Amino acid sequence: MRDPATIGLTPPPELAFRRKISLLGALKSTFAAWEMVTTLTERELRVRYKQAILGVAWALLQPVVLIFTLTIFLSKVANVETHYPEYALFAICGLLPWTFFASAVGQGGLSLLSNLQLINKINCPREVFPLSIVGVSAVDTLTSMVAVVVLFAAKTTMPHALVLAWVVPLILIEIVFTMGVVLLISSMVVHLRDIRHVLPVIIQMGLVATPVIWSLDGLERKWQIVYSIANPIGPVIDSIRRTALKGLAPDLALLGYASVSAVVVFFVGFKVFKRLESSFADLL
Amino acid sequence: MPISSRADDIIAARGGVLTGALNIDRVWKRFRADLRNPFLIDRIEFLRDRLRGDTSNNYRWALRDVDFKIEPGESVGLIGSNGAGKSTMLKMIAGVMYPSAGNVHVGGRIGALIEVRAGLHSDLTGRENIFLYGTLLGLKRKRVAQVFDQIVEFAQIESAIDRQVKFYSTGMQLRLGFAVAAFLEPAVLLVDEVLAVGDSTFQQRCLERMRQVQADGTTLLFVSHDLATMEATCTRGLWLRDGMLVEDSPIREVLGSYREWIEHSAEVGSDQTGPVRVTSTTVTGTAGNGVQSYGSMTVELAVDSDIARGCVVYMGVSEGPATPIFVAQGSAKLSSGSNSVLCTFEHLPLPRGRFFLWTAIHEATRAHDLVKWHPAKAFDVSGPNVESTPRSVVRLSPVQVKNTWEFSAD
């Protein structure tokens, strides 16, 4: 039997716990946990479509309604000059990447809070929860591609084939950036719950701040560069429009800045997430 | 159950210890003393306190310098009163919480039976839940599919497997939760007081299953307030008190000192302000010796009463601070002033060990109690050392009955 009196009041400083994780090792274990991400994504989708009778239709409804509103008010009423022939097509090219980002950040940012029961029980890598929400948004975006096809058919326009050559790198930049932001926000929300209330406001502002309803062409060159670094989604949208609607090559310089920025944001987000991860169970 | 190679696990061993081994290396855990939410305003208050140099009551140490090792295949019971740090310790071993100081090394996957229903998603079907949970525990889908039938069979939910879990009864949810965690081949199984919620059939099945996985080489860490079950299930005991590990020895010894400690904290005696007061309690055995197995035991209560009244005196004996083994009652006429109440028990069927005497005094109408039912005294029974029962007998019997045997061949 040990005498409790021999135990000090605070631990000796050399015992202080330091979690040893290398960035590479952490990335490896995230990759190893990929099946968890897909299973969680599947769970989210199943739960959602079990509750809603219209199911998939809801995923389509949101972008369609937005397109209508934007087309009518901005091109007909406000007369926004875009240098593109069809405002509806111009708008949807911007809307899809934006909705993907917005819904991933909006739901993914709160994913740790909504899964706290699992987080308090299972020691899986925590990033699977926010990442699975990125997966959900990706599936939603794929579903709303139907709206894009219908819209192009209605306007009897074919997107230029050039877009196919660029679609993979563009999606990559978009996803890497989104994952970084989602990881950053979701881990910070645990430590500062106020973000939860500010988040919807910021996302709403983002709709205006991102070239969804306006064109990046309108900016001066140096501001275009600054913008590409600050928000990699801007050049992604711009490249989609140039390739799909005009058949022009993307602005490679801007795209370069955007990819570097996206990768940096991802690593920062991942690093912060892993750093804050060890205190999640204490706070949730 | 076939033991598969655990090579297809996603989650690797933490800290390079043998599969199934635990190494708790001088662990300390600190919590914020107040459980306020981490809103901005709390942060500001916290910073303000710190700037003022007032850090005195910001923290509470939930665990202090806890240090032990568990070998693969051991079955260990973790005991301690509420708030002693047992759940914090389990969470740390389960890997969902990290220590403030020290280190936790765990070999292999953990099956945690903590609030078994918590991991189930009510909108998903039983089938979907099994796969979700298994994947999150780190198993490949293929592997989950292989044990799927066993899980369904154990949980007895064959007919409901494709129904949403929110339409399950509480019992079905419990069985499913237990089955999923216990059948997914954990190297270490943590069981936290889950058995208390199920019915007795379910408890038996769970204990049966726990013994089976243990026989297969799984390390077992068991938390319960049911000391008898713990004694039957574990070989070694760890006692946490106020976040400190005060004893680490064979289960019987730990339970012995734990019961002794409870006796000290429970023996606060009865209320001395009521209309009837028990001023002293004495337990004596045959001819002034200690109490012996199969001997007689005399209990004497000195009782003070304000007025003359009729009453009923209750006495009982229990093994721990739990259900009595037997009770006796007697009607008494108390006169105003001091009284003496004597009760003799014959042929005491108690084995060697430590027991508690409980007393209560009620009004003659039994309408309400004059002295509450409370553990009044601990006493030791001496007797022959009874062979411990084989481990397949779940509950160790608290009474010993004289018996004779005859064997004959036809």
Instruction: Identify which of B28, B192, B191, B189 has the alpha carbon closest to the alpha carbon of residue B104.
Output: B28
Q: Is the pLDDT of residue A3 over 90?
A: no
**What is the residue extent of each domain of chain A?**
21-283
* pLDDT tens digits for range A158-202: 888 888 889 999 999 999 999 999 999 999 998 888 888 999 999
Contact A108, A126 (CB under 8 A): no
A43–B99 CB contact, under 8 Å: no
Nearest residue to B225 (alpha-carbon basis) of B177, B181, B262, B174: B262
Please give the full DSSP string across B176-240, using - where no structure is assigned. Answer: HHHHHHHHS--SEEEEES-TTTS-HHHHHHHHHHHHHHHHTT-EEEEE-S-HHHHHHH-SEEEEE
Q: Output the CA torsion A199→A200→A204→A209 (10° steps).
A: 10
Of A19, A32, A278, the CB nearest to B10: A32
B251 touches B235 (CB < 8 A): yes
Do the beta carbons of residue B315 and residue B327 sit within 8 Å? yes
Task: State the best of A121, A277, A284 to mutate against chain B, taking most chain B CBs within 10 Å.
Answer: A121
Distance CA B299, CA B249 (A): 34
- Based on its alpha-carbon atoms, the radius of gyration of chain B, rounded to whole angstroms, reads 26
Structure tokens belonging to residue B270? 């009865």
Question: Looking at this protein, which amino acid is placed at residue A37?
Answer: V
Interface test with B, best of A6, A7, A276 (most B CBs within 10 A): A7
Q: How many CB pairs under 8 A join A and B?
A: 125
Mean pLDDT of B147-175: 86
What would the pLDDT profile of A125-166 be if each residue is shown by its tens digit?
A: 899 999 999 999 998 888 888 888 888 888 888 888 888 889
CB contact under 8 A, A39 and B135: yes
Nearest residue of chain B to residue A31 (CA atoms): B10
- Residue B211 and residue B215: Cα distance in Å, rounded? 6
Structure tokens at A41: 């994504």
For residue A2, what pLDDT is reported? 65
State the Cα–Cα distance between residues B256 and B244, nearest whole angstrom: 18
Task: Select from A16, A40, A123 the Cβ nearest to the Cβ of B96.
Answer: A123
User: What's chain A's average pLDDT?
Assistant: 86
- Better-predicted residue by pLDDT, A105 or B81: A105
Q: How many C-beta atoms surround the C-beta of residue A34 within 10 A?
A: 12
Contact A121 B103 (CB under 8 A): no
The residue of chain B nearest to residue A126, with distances taken between CA atoms, is: B96
For residue B256, count other CB atoms closer than 10 A to its CB.
16
Burial code (b: 16+ CB inside 10 Å, e: under 16) for A119-147 equals bbbbbbbbbbbbbbbbbbbbebbebbeeb
| Residue of A1, A19, A192 with shortest CB distance to B38 | A192
Which positions in chain A touch B240 (Cβ < 8 Å)?
none
Q: Is the pLDDT of residue A15 over 50?
A: yes
So what's the ipTM on this one?
A: 0.79
Start-to-end Cα distance in chain A = 35
The two tokens of residue B235 are: 């070989």
Looking at chain B, the whole-number percentage of residues with pLDDT higher than 70 is 81
Q: Which of B12-26, B95-109, B201-215, B314-328 bottoms out in mean pLDDT, i.e. has the lowest? A: B12-26
Task: Give the model confidence (pLDDT) of B200-244 as tens digits.
Answer: 787 788 888 888 888 888 898 988 877 877 888 888 999 998 889
In chain B, CATH 3.40.50.300 covers 9-24+63-262
Smallest Cβ–Cβ distance between A11 and the set B10, B65, B115 belongs to: B65
Contact at CB, B98 and A10, closer than 8 angstroms = no
Q: Do A1 and B257 touch (CB under 8 A)?
A: yes
CATH topology of domain B9-24+63-262: Rossmann fold (3.40.50)
CATH number belonging to domain B270-382? 2.70.50.60
| Residues counted in chain B | 410
**According to the per-residue pLDDT averaged within each range, which of A44-58, B12-26, B326-340 is highest?**
B326-340
pLDDT at B138: 78
Are B22 and B188 within 8 A, CB to CB? Answer: yes
Instruction: Output the CA–CA distances (angstroms, integers) from residue A28 to A32, A125, A135, B6, in the order listed.
Output: 6, 11, 19, 19
Kindly report the nearest CA distance between residue B239 and chain A, in angstroms: 10
For chain A, list residues whose CB is within 8 angstroms of any CB belonging to chain B.
1-2, 4, 7-12, 15-17, 19, 29, 32-33, 35-36, 39-40, 43, 46-47, 50-51, 117-124, 128, 190-194, 278-279, 281-283
From the list A17, A43, A190, which residue is nearest B121 (CB)? A43
pLDDT tens across A68-107, in order? 787 777 666 666 667 777 788 888 888 889 999 999 999 9
Answer for the pair B276, A33: CB distance below 8 angstroms, yes or no.
Answer: no
- Point out the least confidently predicted range of A34-38, B120-124, B212-216, B271-275: B271-275
Cβ contact, residue pair A36, B135, below 8 Å: yes
Of A1, A4, A15, the CB nearest to B26: A15
Contact partners, residue B223, CB within 8 Å, separation at least 6: B77, B78, B79, B86, B87, B90, B190, B191, B192, B193
Å between B214 CA and nearest CA of chain A: 21
Q: Which residues, at least 6 apart from B328, have a Cβ–Cβ distance to it below 8 Å?
A: B314, B315, B316, B343, B345
Give φ, ψ of B407 to 5 degrees: -125, 135
Closest Cβ–Cβ partner in A17, A43, A190 for B132:
A43
